[in-house]
Each structure stands twice: as C-alpha cells, then as structure tokens.
Copies of this chain bind each other. A is one copy, B any other.
Amino acid sequence: MVQYMSPLDSAFSALSDPTRRAILERLGCGSATISELAEPTGMSLTGLKKHVQILEQAGLVTTEKRGRTRHCRLGPKRLEDAADWLEGYRRSWADRFDRMEDVIERKRGSR
C-alpha cells in the first residue's frame, strides 16, 4: 500500500529516529559522504543509506554521486513547517492558560 504523506508528515516521521536526527546535526556542520556519516554510528553503509533515503524523500537531505562516492548535504526543506506547527501548538496552549488566568482573576475580583 502506497500511503500519501504530506510534507509535515514526512518531516516528523524523518525526525522520529535518533540516527536520522544525528545525520541532520552532522550535515549542519557541512557536507559528508555516506562513509563519513556511517563511521560514528557503527552502522553498515547499507543501513545508513536507508536513513539518508528517508531524509532525501522528506527533502531534508540532498545527495550527489561523484565517482564512486555519494556526497550528502542538507536539502531544500529547513524544517520550518515542523517548527511552525509546534510553535502554533505551544502558542494555543499559552493562550489557553492566559484565558484561564483571566477567569481566575475575574472570580477573585467578584468575591
């Protein structure tokens, strides 16, 4: 079954794995080859490549083959949508607490 994933679904799904978050953090410091990315994880190149593919499908990583080496760098998507969703969610929470405080304040005032 091919399931449609929105960009936001793909972004959060890509972030749900510690190896993939580590790859993004590493690529934030500059581009790297698959071997360079695999080295600190102790993971096989095949295993690492699968994670890179998921990040690539989410637009978070771009890869380019030069000779026999695949070079990876951060892609066009900058996780703004994911950060915006979380920010909106936090803001609605804060608003709710503000409203609750208003109600408490009014109840105090009417005593």
Which residues of A approach B to under 8 Å, CB–CB? Answer: 5-6, 8-10, 12-13, 15-18, 21, 24-25, 28-29, 78-79, 82-83, 85-87, 89-90, 92-93, 96
Contacts and interface: CB of A to CB of B under 8 A. Distances in A.
B90 A79 contact: yes
A78 B92 contact: no
A28 B96 contact: yes
A10 B10 CA distance: 15
A25 B79 contact: no
Contact of A21 (B78, B85, B96): B85
A79 B83 contact: no
Contacts of A89: 24-25, 28, 79
